[in-house]
Structure 1
């Protein structure tokens, strides 16, 4: 399973899920060894198909770092933290998450859209 790290150590994921809000954006940056990129993307595509079918899912987009970066970033929009938490907590998602290699590091964080 990929290692989970807090993007903001002052606001760990469990605390973010306690905030009942929506819509939300889940930005999840992954540090993936270059030799594992294709394997990671294949596993992620399976996960993405599952997530797209979950209640409260809105959209998802994967981004690749430039200039040879080993970073990939998923940006997913959900109707609420509750919908995301339910999808992530499902046994099927948990089985898929366990398939990710241990040398991948995930930095997830939940955001609320704001006007600027």
Structure 2
């Protein structure tokens, strides 16, 4: 797939780094409920929650939204408050919203070098 510049369309990425002060299982369970809520909000496209390979109490969430307004409306929704409180009870976070500038996808299927 060729390069694509969705920035003109207003796409944004919400990136949130978490340091978890509870069990990873508990955090992931609360995050899953938050994810279910966010997936119902207009403008939500997708997200990925990833756990640090060497530090199991560290996570990053990368969520793609159609535009900043959709994201802001989702976090302003009264239904989001209990989800945010649940995550804050288990972790500290460093949230940031970024304007998508460029996306590149491989032109070919993934290939692992046998060496």
Tell me the TM-score normalized by structure 1.
Answer: 0.74
Cα distance, 1:103 vs. partner? 5.2
1:107 equivalent in alignment to 2:94? yes
Q: 1:56 to 1:70 in 2, by over 3 A?
A: same
Question: How many corresponding residue pairs?
Answer: 95
- Find the counterpart in structure 2 of residue 9 from structure 1: none
Q: In 1, are the aligned partners of 2:24 and 2:56 still within 8 Å (CA)?
A: no
Q: Which runs of structure 1 show a deviation greater than 4 angstroms over 4 or more consecutive aligned residues? A: none
- The Cα RMSD (Å) is 1.8
1:53 equivalent in alignment to 2:44? no
Q: Which has the larger radius of gyration?
A: 2
Q: 5 Å matches for 1:1-116?
A: 22-33=10-21, 35-102=22-89, 104-115=91-102
- Find the counterpart in structure 2 of residue 18 from structure 1: none
Q: Provide the rounded CA distance (Å) in 1 between the counterparts of 2:99 and 2:88.
A: 30
Gaps of 5+ in 1: 1-20
